[in-house]
């Protein structure tokens, strides 16, 4: 797509598609949701962090150098069973197949989110774009408030 459209325009288009996706997902009846899977990209973890979060997010020591700390706290606050860090699309799909969630809250870059939404359809996905701080794919950031807003919409009904 980037070869056809100007980069800025194509990013805006991807963001718009994700917004429409989220609106559609939230407009549906989400009352019977029992299992939520939160899928996070590896680039959200502080690059020099030595702990293996792919095997378990519980390995985070909550030092606060990255937003994983806040997300681990959501695990306890909202009693979420399924929070996974996936270094790529294949493992992300594996985690979805393993958890068989009713809904996924996924954090990734815009293009990966759109590919992922299509891959796991008909399972619904609420998409949260990550924020590139310096270089792409290293030490990315995310709007934690947005993730919590989605969790609240799904668990407090
Ligand atoms: S908050 Fe957790 S994942 Fe992030 S750098 Fe600290 S120990 Fe590592």
Average pLDDT over every residue of 57-84: 96
- Within a domain: residue 67? yes
pLDDT over threshold 50, residue 1: no
- Within a domain: residue 54? yes
- Within a domain: residue 45? yes
Instruction: Domain count for the chain, please give it.
Output: 1
Residue from 66, 70, 87 to probe ligand 1 pocket by mutation (most atoms less than 8 Å from CB)? 66
- Within a domain: residue 72? yes
Average pLDDT over every residue of 26-53: 94
Using the mean position of ligand 1's atoms as its centre, give its distance from the Cα of residue 71 in Å: 11
CA-to-CA distance for 69 and 60, rounded, in angstroms?
Answer: 7
Ligand 1 closest atom vs CA 66: 4
Global pTM?
0.92
Concatenate the DSSP letters of all residues of 61-126 into one string: ---SSSTHHHHHHHHHHTT--EEEEESSHHHHHHHHHHH--SEEEEEE-HHHHHHHHHHHTTSEEE
Nearest alpha carbon, ligand 1 atom 8: 49
Using the mean position of ligand 1's atoms as its centre, give its distance from the Cα of residue 46 in Å: 6
What is the DSSP-derived secondary structure letter of residue 40? Answer: E
Per-residue tokens: 20: 């429409």
CA-to-CA distance for 116 and 111, rounded, in angstroms?
Answer: 9
Average pLDDT over every residue of 1-6: 53
CA-to-CA distance for 78 and 124, rounded, in angstroms?
Answer: 20
Using the mean position of ligand 1's atoms as its centre, give its distance from the Cα of residue 155 in Å: 26
pLDDT category at 4 given cuts 50, 70, 90 is low
- Within a domain: residue 2? no
| φ/ψ (deg, to 5) at 82 | -115, 95
The whole domain housing 71 covers 7-155
């Amino acid at each position: 797509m980037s070869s056809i459209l100007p980069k800025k325009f194509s990013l805006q288009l991807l963001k718009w598609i994700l917004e429409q996706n989220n609106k559609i997902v939230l407009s549906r009846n989400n009352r019977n949701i029992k299992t939520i899977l939160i899928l996070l990209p590896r680039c959200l973890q502080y690059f020099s962090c030595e702990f293996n979060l792919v095997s378990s997010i519980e390995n985070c020591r909550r030092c606060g150098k990255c937003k994983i700390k806040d997300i681990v706290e959501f695990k306890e606050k909202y009693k979420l069973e399924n929070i996974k860090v996936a270094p790529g699309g294949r493992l992300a799909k594996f985690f979805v197949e393993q958890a068989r969630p009713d809904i996924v809250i996924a954090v990734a870059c815009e293009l990966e989110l759109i590919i992922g939404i299509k891959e796991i359809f008909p399972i619904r996905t609420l998409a949260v774009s990550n924020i590139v701080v310096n270089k792409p794919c290293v030490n990315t950031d995310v709007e934690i408030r947005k993730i919590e807003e989605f969790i609240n919409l799904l668990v407090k009904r």
